Amino acid sequence: MSLSGFQFKMHHKILHKLRKAGASSIKSSVTIEEADFDYQEQMWLDFFAGAFLGKIKKTEDRRYYKTDKYKKIFSFFIETLAQK
């Protein structure tokens, strides 16, 4: 997903608040209020959460969390290298 400057800034503000709220999986997902999103961030949430390969995901009950889509792959390689 290619982002303009303003989109990039909003994306990272939202990711930062999700990290701060500890929303790193479906089980730890948070509501808008729990993440303390302001009005502008709320308006961008559906745009970013709707991206097919995006880092921000939305549950059916409108809770949000961030994913690290490459985290499992990187951890596998790190463990493999550590064993050598």
76 Cα distance to chain centroid: 21
What's the predicted TM-score (pTM) here? 0.74
Structural domain harbouring 41: 5-83
Q: What number of CA atoms fall less than 13 Å from residue 27's CA on the CB side?
A: 0
Residue 2 — pLDDT band, cuts 50, 70, 90?
A: low
How many structural domains is the chain composed of? 1
Gap between the Cα atoms of 23 and 63, Å rounded = 9
Q: For all residues of the chain together, what is the average pLDDT?
A: 84
Residue 31 — pLDDT band, cuts 50, 70, 90?
A: very high
Residue 83 — pLDDT band, cuts 50, 70, 90?
A: low
Residue range 39-78, pLDDT digits in tens? 999 999 988 987 766 789 999 999 999 987 665 555 655 6
